[in-house]
Amino acid sequence: MHEPKVTGTLPTRHRPGARRVPDGRRLARALHPLAWWVWALALATAVSRTNNPLLLLLVLAVLGYVVTLRRTEAPWARGFVYYLYLALTVVAIRVVFRAVFATGTTPRDHFLFALPRLPTPDWYAGIQIGGPVSLEALLSAATDGLRLACMLCCIGAANTLANPKRALRVLPGALYELGVAVTVSISVAPQLVQSVQRVRRARRLRAGHGTGARALRGIVVPVLEDALERSLRLAAAMDSRGYGRAGSATRRSRRLTGALLLLGMCGLCAGAYGLLDATAPRLLGLPAMAAGALLCVAGLRLGGRRVTRTTYRPDPWRFPEWAVAGCGVLSAVLLFVSAGFDAAALNPSYYPLSWPTLPPVPTVAILLAGAAALLAPPPVAPERPARPVPPAPPGASARSGARPSVRPSARTSARPSDAVPARGAGEAETP
Protein backbone atom coordinates (compact mmCIF):
# COMPACT_ATOMS: atom_id res chain seq x y z
CA MET A 1 0.00 0.00 0.00
CA HIS A 2 1.47 3.25 -1.12
CA GLU A 3 1.36 6.32 1.10
CA PRO A 4 -0.23 9.36 -0.52
CA LYS A 5 2.22 12.07 -1.44
CA VAL A 6 1.41 15.37 0.24
CA THR A 7 2.44 18.48 -1.60
CA GLY A 8 2.34 22.12 -0.51
CA THR A 9 3.70 24.15 2.39
CA LEU A 10 2.66 24.20 5.98
CA PRO A 11 1.04 27.38 7.30
CA THR A 12 3.31 29.77 9.13
CA ARG A 13 3.01 30.06 12.86
CA HIS A 14 1.95 33.48 14.02
CA ARG A 15 0.13 35.22 16.78
CA PRO A 16 -3.55 34.25 17.30
CA GLY A 17 -5.91 36.69 15.66
CA ALA A 18 -3.45 37.70 12.93
CA ARG A 19 -3.74 36.66 9.30
CA ARG A 20 -1.69 37.01 6.18
CA VAL A 21 -2.79 39.64 3.74
CA PRO A 22 -3.38 38.50 0.12
CA ASP A 23 0.05 39.62 -1.10
CA GLY A 24 1.73 37.64 1.69
CA ARG A 25 4.24 40.36 2.53
CA ARG A 26 2.95 41.70 5.84
CA LEU A 27 1.17 40.16 8.78
CA ALA A 28 -2.28 41.61 9.41
CA ARG A 29 -2.89 42.38 13.08
CA ALA A 30 -4.40 45.03 15.30
CA LEU A 31 -2.05 47.83 16.27
CA HIS A 32 -1.66 48.67 19.95
CA PRO A 33 -4.40 51.19 20.85
CA LEU A 34 -1.99 53.33 22.85
CA ALA A 35 0.11 53.89 19.71
CA TRP A 36 -2.87 55.35 17.86
CA TRP A 37 -3.73 57.60 20.80
CA VAL A 38 -0.15 58.88 21.11
CA TRP A 39 -0.11 59.57 17.37
CA ALA A 40 -3.45 61.42 17.43
CA LEU A 41 -2.73 63.48 20.55
CA ALA A 42 0.68 64.48 19.22
CA LEU A 43 -0.91 65.57 15.95
CA ALA A 44 -3.54 67.54 17.88
CA THR A 45 -0.70 69.24 19.77
CA ALA A 46 0.90 70.16 16.46
CA VAL A 47 -2.43 71.58 15.26
CA SER A 48 -2.65 73.82 18.32
CA ARG A 49 0.64 75.41 17.25
CA THR A 50 -0.58 76.71 13.87
CA ASN A 51 -3.38 78.84 12.51
CA ASN A 52 -2.48 78.46 8.84
CA PRO A 53 -5.56 77.23 6.90
CA LEU A 54 -3.41 75.40 4.33
CA LEU A 55 -1.67 73.39 7.04
CA LEU A 56 -4.97 72.70 8.79
CA LEU A 57 -6.53 71.38 5.58
CA LEU A 58 -3.44 69.22 5.08
CA VAL A 59 -3.95 67.78 8.56
CA LEU A 60 -7.55 66.86 7.68
CA ALA A 61 -6.32 65.19 4.49
CA VAL A 62 -3.72 63.20 6.45
CA LEU A 63 -6.32 62.09 8.99
CA GLY A 64 -8.68 60.95 6.26
CA TYR A 65 -5.90 59.05 4.49
CA VAL A 66 -4.78 57.20 7.62
CA VAL A 67 -8.32 56.36 8.71
CA THR A 68 -9.26 55.10 5.26
CA LEU A 69 -6.27 52.73 5.04
CA ARG A 70 -6.09 51.43 8.60
CA ARG A 71 -9.60 51.33 10.01
CA THR A 72 -11.27 48.00 10.72
CA GLU A 73 -14.81 46.73 10.25
CA ALA A 74 -15.66 47.23 13.93
CA PRO A 75 -18.72 49.33 14.87
CA TRP A 76 -16.61 52.13 16.37
CA ALA A 77 -14.60 52.39 13.12
CA ARG A 78 -17.52 53.85 11.17
CA GLY A 79 -17.91 57.12 13.02
CA PHE A 80 -15.17 59.28 11.51
CA VAL A 81 -17.55 60.81 8.97
CA TYR A 82 -19.73 62.02 11.85
CA TYR A 83 -16.71 63.73 13.38
CA LEU A 84 -16.30 65.54 10.06
CA TYR A 85 -19.91 66.70 10.28
CA LEU A 86 -19.22 67.90 13.82
CA ALA A 87 -16.15 69.76 12.57
CA LEU A 88 -18.21 71.56 9.92
CA THR A 89 -20.75 72.47 12.59
CA VAL A 90 -18.01 73.93 14.80
CA VAL A 91 -16.68 76.07 11.94
CA ALA A 92 -20.20 77.29 11.07
CA ILE A 93 -21.00 78.21 14.68
CA ARG A 94 -17.71 80.09 15.03
CA VAL A 95 -18.40 82.11 11.88
CA VAL A 96 -21.99 82.90 12.94
CA PHE A 97 -20.88 84.08 16.37
CA ARG A 98 -18.23 86.32 14.84
CA ALA A 99 -20.80 87.80 12.46
CA VAL A 100 -23.35 88.42 15.22
CA PHE A 101 -20.90 89.79 17.77
CA ALA A 102 -19.10 92.07 15.35
CA THR A 103 -15.91 93.35 16.96
CA GLY A 104 -12.46 94.36 15.78
CA THR A 105 -13.48 95.82 12.41
CA THR A 106 -11.41 98.61 10.90
CA PRO A 107 -12.23 101.09 8.12
CA ARG A 108 -9.74 99.37 5.78
CA ASP A 109 -11.60 96.01 5.92
CA HIS A 110 -13.62 94.60 3.02
CA PHE A 111 -17.21 94.93 4.26
CA LEU A 112 -19.69 92.34 3.01
CA PHE A 113 -22.99 93.19 4.71
CA ALA A 114 -24.40 94.75 7.86
CA LEU A 115 -26.64 93.20 10.49
CA PRO A 116 -29.19 95.16 12.50
CA ARG A 117 -27.54 96.55 15.60
CA LEU A 118 -29.22 95.84 18.93
CA PRO A 119 -28.82 98.26 21.83
CA THR A 120 -27.08 96.84 24.90
CA PRO A 121 -27.27 98.02 28.54
CA ASP A 122 -24.43 99.86 30.24
CA TRP A 123 -23.26 96.81 32.21
CA TYR A 124 -22.89 94.99 28.86
CA ALA A 125 -20.53 97.61 27.48
CA GLY A 126 -17.73 96.49 25.20
CA ILE A 127 -19.81 93.84 23.40
CA GLN A 128 -21.58 94.85 20.21
CA ILE A 129 -24.48 92.79 18.80
CA GLY A 130 -24.93 93.35 15.08
CA GLY A 131 -23.29 95.84 12.80
CA PRO A 132 -21.03 95.65 9.74
CA VAL A 133 -19.43 92.30 8.89
CA SER A 134 -16.10 92.24 7.08
CA LEU A 135 -14.39 89.53 5.05
CA GLU A 136 -11.31 89.61 7.24
CA ALA A 137 -13.39 88.94 10.37
CA LEU A 138 -15.17 85.97 8.79
CA LEU A 139 -11.92 84.45 7.51
CA SER A 140 -10.29 84.83 10.91
CA ALA A 141 -13.27 83.19 12.61
CA ALA A 142 -13.31 80.36 10.06
CA THR A 143 -9.61 79.71 10.66
CA ASP A 144 -10.08 79.59 14.43
CA GLY A 145 -12.99 77.20 14.01
CA LEU A 146 -10.97 75.07 11.60
CA ARG A 147 -8.20 74.66 14.15
CA LEU A 148 -10.68 73.43 16.77
CA ALA A 149 -12.29 71.21 14.14
CA CYS A 150 -8.92 69.61 13.37
CA MET A 151 -8.40 68.83 17.05
CA LEU A 152 -11.81 67.17 17.21
CA CYS A 153 -11.00 65.15 14.10
CA CYS A 154 -7.72 64.01 15.68
CA ILE A 155 -9.65 62.65 18.66
CA GLY A 156 -12.16 61.12 16.27
CA ALA A 157 -9.38 59.41 14.31
CA ALA A 158 -7.97 57.88 17.50
CA ASN A 159 -11.45 56.79 18.52
CA THR A 160 -11.94 55.23 15.09
CA LEU A 161 -8.60 53.42 14.81
CA ALA A 162 -8.08 52.26 18.41
CA ASN A 163 -10.13 49.62 20.15
CA PRO A 164 -11.52 51.29 23.31
CA LYS A 165 -11.81 47.96 25.14
CA ARG A 166 -8.18 47.07 24.51
CA ALA A 167 -7.08 50.57 25.52
CA LEU A 168 -8.43 49.86 29.00
CA ARG A 169 -5.84 47.09 29.50
CA VAL A 170 -2.84 49.41 29.45
CA LEU A 171 -4.01 51.62 32.32
CA PRO A 172 -2.46 51.19 35.78
CA GLY A 173 -4.44 49.32 38.39
CA ALA A 174 -5.11 52.47 40.41
CA LEU A 175 -6.78 54.11 37.41
CA TYR A 176 -8.84 51.10 36.42
CA GLU A 177 -12.17 52.48 37.64
CA LEU A 178 -11.47 55.90 36.14
CA GLY A 179 -10.39 54.19 32.93
CA VAL A 180 -13.65 52.29 32.75
CA ALA A 181 -15.59 55.54 33.07
CA VAL A 182 -13.46 57.23 30.40
CA THR A 183 -13.78 54.22 28.09
CA VAL A 184 -17.55 54.22 28.47
CA SER A 185 -17.74 57.95 27.75
CA ILE A 186 -15.46 57.63 24.70
CA SER A 187 -17.47 54.73 23.26
CA VAL A 188 -20.76 56.66 23.50
CA ALA A 189 -20.31 58.35 20.11
CA PRO A 190 -19.51 55.13 18.17
CA GLN A 191 -22.44 53.35 19.81
CA LEU A 192 -24.81 56.18 18.91
CA VAL A 193 -23.55 56.04 15.33
CA GLN A 194 -24.17 52.30 15.25
CA SER A 195 -27.67 52.77 16.68
CA VAL A 196 -28.55 55.44 14.11
CA GLN A 197 -27.30 53.26 11.25
CA ARG A 198 -29.28 50.27 12.53
CA VAL A 199 -32.49 52.29 12.88
CA ARG A 200 -32.09 53.82 9.42
CA ARG A 201 -31.49 50.38 7.92
CA ALA A 202 -34.63 49.07 9.60
CA ARG A 203 -36.65 52.02 8.28
CA ARG A 204 -35.48 51.34 4.74
CA LEU A 205 -36.44 47.69 5.03
CA ARG A 206 -39.91 48.74 6.19
CA ALA A 207 -40.26 51.25 3.33
CA GLY A 208 -40.15 54.24 5.66
CA HIS A 209 -39.52 57.33 3.56
CA GLY A 210 -40.85 60.05 5.85
CA THR A 211 -39.11 63.40 6.04
CA GLY A 212 -39.03 66.28 8.46
CA ALA A 213 -40.02 66.08 12.11
CA ARG A 214 -41.83 62.77 11.63
CA ALA A 215 -38.73 61.03 10.31
CA LEU A 216 -36.63 62.61 13.07
CA ARG A 217 -38.98 61.26 15.72
CA GLY A 218 -38.84 57.82 14.12
CA ILE A 219 -35.05 57.82 14.44
CA VAL A 220 -34.47 59.64 17.75
CA VAL A 221 -36.93 57.63 19.86
CA PRO A 222 -35.52 54.16 18.98
CA VAL A 223 -31.98 55.47 19.45
CA LEU A 224 -32.81 56.79 22.93
CA GLU A 225 -34.50 53.52 23.85
CA ASP A 226 -31.45 51.60 22.70
CA ALA A 227 -29.13 53.89 24.70
CA LEU A 228 -31.27 53.42 27.84
CA GLU A 229 -31.27 49.64 27.51
CA ARG A 230 -27.52 49.61 26.91
CA SER A 231 -26.89 51.75 29.98
CA LEU A 232 -28.99 49.41 32.15
CA ARG A 233 -27.12 46.36 30.86
CA LEU A 234 -23.80 48.11 31.45
CA ALA A 235 -24.78 49.06 35.02
CA ALA A 236 -25.80 45.48 35.79
CA ALA A 237 -22.56 44.11 34.31
CA MET A 238 -20.40 46.58 36.25
CA ASP A 239 -22.21 45.83 39.51
CA SER A 240 -21.83 42.08 39.02
CA ARG A 241 -18.07 42.56 38.51
CA GLY A 242 -17.61 44.58 41.68
CA TYR A 243 -17.02 47.98 40.10
CA GLY A 244 -16.66 50.77 42.68
CA ARG A 245 -16.07 48.53 45.69
CA ALA A 246 -13.21 49.28 48.03
CA GLY A 247 -12.12 45.68 48.50
CA SER A 248 -9.34 45.08 51.03
CA ALA A 249 -7.99 48.65 50.97
CA THR A 250 -7.97 50.47 54.28
CA ARG A 251 -9.12 54.02 54.77
CA ARG A 252 -5.57 55.14 55.49
CA SER A 253 -4.21 53.74 52.21
CA ARG A 254 -7.02 55.34 50.22
CA ARG A 255 -6.38 58.72 51.81
CA LEU A 256 -2.64 58.44 51.24
CA THR A 257 -3.18 57.49 47.60
CA GLY A 258 -5.54 60.42 47.06
CA ALA A 259 -3.16 62.87 48.72
CA LEU A 260 -0.22 61.72 46.61
CA LEU A 261 -2.20 62.01 43.39
CA LEU A 262 -3.59 65.41 44.34
CA LEU A 263 -0.16 66.81 45.21
CA GLY A 264 1.30 65.30 42.06
CA MET A 265 -1.33 66.94 39.87
CA CYS A 266 -0.71 70.27 41.58
CA GLY A 267 3.00 69.87 40.90
CA LEU A 268 2.37 69.11 37.23
CA CYS A 269 0.13 72.18 36.89
CA ALA A 270 2.70 74.40 38.59
CA GLY A 271 5.46 73.00 36.38
CA ALA A 272 3.44 73.61 33.22
CA TYR A 273 2.75 77.19 34.32
CA GLY A 274 6.44 77.74 35.04
CA LEU A 275 7.44 76.45 31.62
CA LEU A 276 4.90 78.63 29.80
CA ASP A 277 5.55 81.83 31.78
CA ALA A 278 9.02 83.26 31.25
CA THR A 279 8.73 85.53 34.32
CA ALA A 280 7.97 82.67 36.75
CA PRO A 281 10.67 81.45 39.18
CA ARG A 282 12.85 78.58 38.07
CA LEU A 283 11.48 76.29 40.77
CA LEU A 284 8.07 76.41 39.06
CA GLY A 285 9.47 74.92 35.86
CA LEU A 286 11.12 71.54 35.46
CA PRO A 287 11.71 70.91 39.22
CA ALA A 288 8.02 71.29 40.04
CA MET A 289 7.01 69.12 37.10
CA ALA A 290 9.51 66.41 38.04
CA ALA A 291 8.34 66.42 41.67
CA GLY A 292 4.72 66.21 40.54
CA ALA A 293 5.47 63.33 38.23
CA LEU A 294 7.23 61.41 41.03
CA LEU A 295 4.29 61.95 43.40
CA CYS A 296 1.83 60.76 40.75
CA VAL A 297 3.89 57.63 40.08
CA ALA A 298 4.08 56.88 43.82
CA GLY A 299 0.32 57.31 44.18
CA LEU A 300 -0.38 55.05 41.22
CA ARG A 301 1.97 52.36 42.53
CA LEU A 302 0.43 52.50 45.99
CA GLY A 303 -3.11 52.41 44.65
CA GLY A 304 -2.35 49.65 42.19
CA ARG A 305 -1.38 47.17 44.91
CA ARG A 306 -4.99 46.61 45.93
CA VAL A 307 -6.13 45.90 42.37
CA THR A 308 -5.30 42.49 40.97
CA ARG A 309 -5.90 41.99 37.26
CA THR A 310 -4.90 39.43 34.69
CA THR A 311 -4.54 40.10 30.97
CA TYR A 312 -5.43 37.51 28.35
CA ARG A 313 -3.37 37.84 25.18
CA PRO A 314 -1.75 41.23 25.85
CA ASP A 315 -1.23 43.47 22.85
CA PRO A 316 2.41 43.50 21.73
CA TRP A 317 4.44 46.67 21.45
CA ARG A 318 6.81 46.22 18.53
CA PHE A 319 8.42 48.24 15.78
CA PRO A 320 5.13 49.34 14.10
CA GLU A 321 3.90 50.79 17.41
CA TRP A 322 7.14 52.71 17.92
CA ALA A 323 7.04 53.94 14.32
CA VAL A 324 3.41 55.15 14.45
CA ALA A 325 3.83 56.92 17.79
CA GLY A 326 7.15 58.39 16.65
CA CYS A 327 5.59 59.88 13.51
CA GLY A 328 3.10 61.88 15.55
CA VAL A 329 5.60 62.97 18.21
CA LEU A 330 8.19 64.01 15.64
CA SER A 331 5.57 66.06 13.77
CA ALA A 332 4.68 67.94 16.96
CA VAL A 333 8.35 68.49 17.86
CA LEU A 334 9.16 69.94 14.45
CA LEU A 335 6.32 72.45 14.68
CA PHE A 336 7.22 73.50 18.23
CA VAL A 337 10.95 73.84 17.67
CA SER A 338 10.45 76.26 14.75
CA ALA A 339 13.76 75.30 13.19
CA GLY A 340 14.29 76.01 9.50
CA PHE A 341 11.25 78.23 9.00
CA ASP A 342 9.73 81.47 10.20
CA ALA A 343 7.35 81.01 13.12
CA ALA A 344 5.14 83.79 11.72
CA ALA A 345 4.23 81.50 8.80
CA LEU A 346 2.34 79.27 11.22
CA ASN A 347 -0.02 82.08 12.19
CA PRO A 348 -0.59 84.32 9.15
CA SER A 349 -2.45 87.59 9.56
CA TYR A 350 -5.46 88.69 7.53
CA TYR A 351 -4.75 92.40 8.10
CA PRO A 352 -4.06 93.30 5.34
CA LEU A 353 -5.82 90.54 3.41
CA SER A 354 -3.34 88.23 1.65
CA TRP A 355 -3.00 84.61 0.63
CA PRO A 356 -1.20 82.51 3.31
CA THR A 357 2.06 80.80 2.45
CA LEU A 358 2.82 77.11 2.85
CA PRO A 359 6.08 76.69 4.81
CA PRO A 360 8.03 73.62 3.66
CA VAL A 361 9.22 72.27 7.05
CA PRO A 362 5.76 72.17 8.71
CA THR A 363 4.37 70.64 5.53
CA VAL A 364 6.93 67.84 5.66
CA ALA A 365 6.23 67.38 9.37
CA ILE A 366 2.50 66.89 8.77
CA LEU A 367 3.15 64.55 5.85
CA LEU A 368 5.45 62.61 8.14
CA ALA A 369 2.48 62.02 10.43
CA GLY A 370 0.66 60.54 7.43
CA ALA A 371 3.41 57.92 7.09
CA ALA A 372 1.73 56.11 9.99
CA ALA A 373 -0.68 54.61 7.46
CA LEU A 374 2.23 52.89 5.71
CA LEU A 375 4.12 51.86 8.86
CA ALA A 376 1.14 50.40 10.68
CA PRO A 377 0.26 46.77 9.91
CA PRO A 378 -2.86 46.19 7.80
CA PRO A 379 -6.02 45.54 9.79
CA VAL A 380 -7.39 42.04 10.13
CA ALA A 381 -10.10 41.46 7.53
CA PRO A 382 -13.27 39.79 8.80
CA GLU A 383 -13.86 36.20 7.76
CA ARG A 384 -16.83 36.01 5.45
CA PRO A 385 -18.59 32.69 4.82
CA ALA A 386 -18.26 31.22 1.35
CA ARG A 387 -21.23 31.37 -0.96
CA PRO A 388 -23.08 28.06 -1.30
CA VAL A 389 -22.92 26.58 -4.81
CA PRO A 390 -26.43 25.96 -6.20
CA PRO A 391 -27.04 22.30 -7.14
CA ALA A 392 -27.16 21.38 -10.80
CA PRO A 393 -30.59 20.59 -12.28
CA PRO A 394 -31.42 16.89 -12.59
CA GLY A 395 -30.28 15.33 -15.85
CA ALA A 396 -27.87 18.16 -16.69
CA SER A 397 -24.76 16.00 -16.34
CA ALA A 398 -26.28 13.20 -18.42
CA ARG A 399 -27.14 15.55 -21.29
CA SER A 400 -23.70 17.16 -21.32
CA GLY A 401 -21.87 13.83 -21.09
CA ALA A 402 -19.65 15.04 -18.22
CA ARG A 403 -18.98 13.05 -15.12
CA PRO A 404 -20.71 14.38 -12.02
CA SER A 405 -18.32 15.99 -9.58
CA VAL A 406 -18.27 14.79 -6.00
CA ARG A 407 -17.90 17.50 -3.40
CA PRO A 408 -16.53 16.58 0.02
CA SER A 409 -18.94 17.18 2.85
CA ALA A 410 -18.57 17.37 6.58
CA ARG A 411 -19.53 13.69 6.92
CA THR A 412 -17.07 12.49 4.25
CA SER A 413 -13.78 11.30 5.64
CA ALA A 414 -10.73 13.26 4.52
CA ARG A 415 -8.37 10.29 4.64
CA PRO A 416 -6.99 9.17 1.29
CA SER A 417 -7.47 5.50 2.17
CA ASP A 418 -11.24 6.05 2.42
CA ALA A 419 -11.48 7.98 -0.83
CA VAL A 420 -9.29 5.62 -2.96
CA PRO A 421 -9.80 1.83 -2.65
CA ALA A 422 -6.66 -0.14 -1.89
CA ARG A 423 -5.28 -2.38 -4.59
CA GLY A 424 -4.44 -5.97 -3.96
CA ALA A 425 -1.02 -7.48 -4.27
CA GLY A 426 -1.71 -9.05 -7.65
CA GLU A 427 -3.51 -6.05 -9.21
CA ALA A 428 -1.68 -4.01 -11.75
CA GLU A 429 -1.83 -0.26 -11.88
CA THR A 430 -3.68 1.02 -14.92
CA PRO A 431 -2.03 3.85 -16.78
The percent of residues above 70 in pLDDT, for the chain, comes to: 69
Task: Summarize the confidence of residues 335-355 as an average pLDDT.
Answer: 80
Do the beta carbons of residue 136 and residue 109 sit within 8 Å? yes
Q: Which residue has the higher pLDDT, 206 or 369?
A: 369
How far apart are the C-alpha atoms of 20 and 325, rounded to whole Å? 24
Do the beta carbons of residue 62 and residue 362 sit within 8 Å? no
| Per-residue model confidence as pLDDT tens digits over 155-187 | 999 988 887 777 766 766 666 666 677 667 666
Q: Of 142-146, 224-228, 258-262, 415-419, which range is least confident?
A: 415-419
Burial (0-12, 13-18, 19+ Cβ within 10 Å), 143 = buried
How far apart are the C-alpha atoms of 333 and 240, rounded to whole Å? 45
Q: Which residue has the higher pLDDT, 331 or 117?
A: 331
Q: Of 134-143, 144-153, 177-186, 389-398, which range is least confident?
A: 389-398
- Is the pTM value of this prediction over 0.85? no
| Per-residue model confidence as pLDDT tens digits over 184-221 | 766 676 677 778 778 878 877 776 666 666 677 777 77
Average pLDDT across the chain, whole number: 75
Closest CA to 152 of 79, 72, 76: 79
Task: Summarize the confidence of residues 317-343 as an average pLDDT.
Answer: 87
Q: Which residue has the higher pLDDT, 370 or 184?
A: 370
pLDDT band at 292 (very low <50, low <70, confident <90, very high): confident
Packing angle between helix 135-161 and helix 188-205, nearest 10 degrees? 90
How far apart are the C-alpha atoms of 146 and 47, rounded to whole Å? 10
pLDDT band at 11 (very low <50, low <70, confident <90, very high): very low
How far apart are the C-alpha atoms of 130 and 115, rounded to whole Å? 5
Q: Which residue has the higher pLDDT, 376 or 76?
A: 376
Q: Kindly report the CA angle at 289 between 285 and 293, in degrees rounded to 5?
A: 170
How far apart are the C-alpha atoms of 189 and 241, rounded to whole Å? 24
Alpha helices in 314-392 (DSSP H): 319-337, 360-370, 372-375
pLDDT band at 26 (very low <50, low <70, confident <90, very high): low
